[in-house]
Amino acid sequence: MFIYMDKIRLLFLFSILGASTVYAQKVPPRKPPFKADPDVVMPDTSTVVVKADSSHNGAGEFMSLKQCIDYAMIHQPGLNKSLINVSIAKETNAVNLSPWLPQVSASGNLTHYIQFPANGVITTQGGTTTTTGGTTTGGTTGTGGTTGTGTTTGTTSTSASGVATRTANTFIPQLAVSQAIFNPSLLYAAKSAPLLLKEAQQVTDSTKIFLVSSVSKAYYNVLLTLEQINVLKEDTARLGKNVRDTYHQYIGGIVDETDYEEATITLNNSKAQLKQANENVVPQFAALKQLMGFPPEQQFNVSFNTDQMMQGIYIDTTQQLSYEKRIEFQQLGTEKALQAQLTGYYKTAILPTVSAFYNYNRQFANEHFSNVFDSSYPSSLVGLSVSIPIFTGLGRVHSIRKSKLQEQLLKWDETDLKLQINKEYTTANANYKGNLYNLQLLQKNVAMARRVYFVVSLQYKQGIVAYLNVITAESNLITSEINYLNALFQTLSSKIDLQKAMGNITY
């Protein structure tokens, strides 16, 4: 009986010793009272901002992506220049087509003879003017190569018998009217006018597409940096609290000095990253302002909703590529049509130029200058002018050949453009799919990293793990969150590239 009781006491004693050993392994030994090092000071963590805010500028309204694009469509200098070029193209067409309208001109010659030519008598009989021993000059040149004769200048006056005698003072005003009937150059201008206007409008459309793409990417770039700033603010706030806790634990002798130093190093690294991100966002805002045409001295903030971005991040990647949707392909088509019109013009340049003209003259003449307007002698004529190019040194033939060669160049440009568009579409599609898959994985990583950090923090507070595990978990959490943000905005940017490659960006 006594032997049995001794065995029970020994077994109980061994159980207590074993439990003590296990407890000693889990709980760190209590350190003797610690005297703080006078060189070790509590770090300043008062500048750490706990609340994350996407606002960068202290003043200014919040603008969404659509509002930024709308602003750019009104104020961007490059787009406004292209709109002015459309108006210039309209005015240029009006100038080129103006010769189709009647051309009216007025002229006059006031003459005073100091000395008459010898035997210079001009006679007028039956409406026919004959010059003997004198000089009769005349001619009216109209628009479109029309020349009409019928202006007689000289020293003449008409007597009652119909014979003109020499007169010292004459004034002959003239009114000339011409009308183009057929002209190959004007016909080419009429056919090319709509194409030239279309070309200018396509340049404007191309500028709008570029603005939508560039403003969107610049906007996403600013958002990415602002979101990184938010993440780093939260991280710096957590690290600041960890440093304060570790400092007090170090002062109380609970943890080693290395734990406090590692916490301080991690906090300083986070502060440096936060400072760099705050500096980087300034030129990014400047780039966005430049694309928008926003005044540099004014400020604005960007507003966004991550959930809405996630909902609008998807795009149908099964759509077939259509080259005709690309503005570059449309511009090349317009250029080909203009070149074909030029070839047709060279072919029709052999056709005659036909125009009609009408001239009205009224001659005033008198021996005394003060009485020069006392009497007048009107005359008028109408005619048709025809000009036929017979031989131009084979210039027209060579122009036709040159224009056809340029048409062949445009055909090869079309082939090269198709290859380029296909490469852009394939690259953008692959980038979008890869970024979207990466985004989905990194989203899971963020959730797991947060859970790991929470668990490791609790284990460290209970003394189960070392502070190095906390630093590793914190680093993984920051990396996961920043990588997720990078993937999010890379996916949004690659979506813009894919829409541009498919020609689906319109505004």
Strands 301-302 and 353-366: unpaired
Single-letter amino acid, residue 3: I
What DSSP state is assigned to residue 369?
Answer: G
Burial class of residue 167 (count of CB atoms within 10 Å of its CB; 0-12, 13-18, 19+):
buried
Calpha distance 247→225 (Å, rounded): 32
Across 115-119, 288-292, 383-387, 396-400, least confident range: 115-119
The SS3 call for residue 286 is: helix
Work out the average pLDDT over 276-302. 93
Q: What is the pLDDT of residues 422-466, one digit of tens each?
A: 999 999 999 999 999 999 999 999 999 999 989 998 888 887 888
What DSSP state is assigned to residue 48?
Answer: -
Single-letter amino acid, residue 386: V
Nearest partner of 491 among 448, 447, 430, judged by Cα: 430
Calpha distance 466→459 (Å, rounded): 9
Sign of CA dihedral 464, 465, 471, 475: negative
Answer for the pair 96, 193: CB distance below 8 angstroms, yes or no.
yes
Residue 330 has pLDDT above 50, yes or no: yes
Per-residue pLDDT at 53:
41
Nearest partner of 364 among 354, 353, 356, 376, judged by Cα: 376
Per-residue pLDDT at 242:
81
Using CA atoms, how far residue 120 sits from 116, 137, 156, 164, in Å, is 7, 14, 10, 11
Residue 34 has pLDDT above 70, yes or no: no
Single-letter amino acid, residue 237: A
Single-letter amino acid, residue 425: Y
Per-residue pLDDT at 165:
55
Per-residue pLDDT at 23:
35
pLDDT band for position 388 (cuts 50, 70, 90): very high
pTM: 0.74
Calpha distance 491→137 (Å, rounded): 81
Q: What percent of the chain has pLDDT over 90?
A: 51
Per-residue pLDDT at 305:
72
pLDDT band for position 59 (cuts 50, 70, 90): low
Q: What is the pLDDT of residues 344-362, one digit of tens each?
A: 999 999 999 999 999 999 9
Per-residue pLDDT at 308:
72
| Partners of 376 in beta bridges | 364
Q: In the block, which residue shows the tokens 């507070």? A: 461
Per-residue pLDDT at 183:
95
| Partners of 122 in beta bridges | 131
Question: What phi-psi label fits residue 153: left (phi over 0), alpha (psi between -120 and 50 degrees) or beta?
Answer: beta
How many CA atoms, within 13 angstroms, populate the side-chain half-sphere of residue 355? 25
Residue 324 has pLDDT above 70, yes or no: yes
Residue 16 has pLDDT above 70, yes or no: no
Per-residue pLDDT at 56:
52
Answer for the pair 223, 304: CB distance below 8 angstroms, yes or no.
yes
Residue 223, both tokens: 């958002």
- For the chain, the average pLDDT equals 81
Per-residue pLDDT at 188:
96
pLDDT greater at residue 167 or residue 274: 274
Per-residue pLDDT at 182:
95
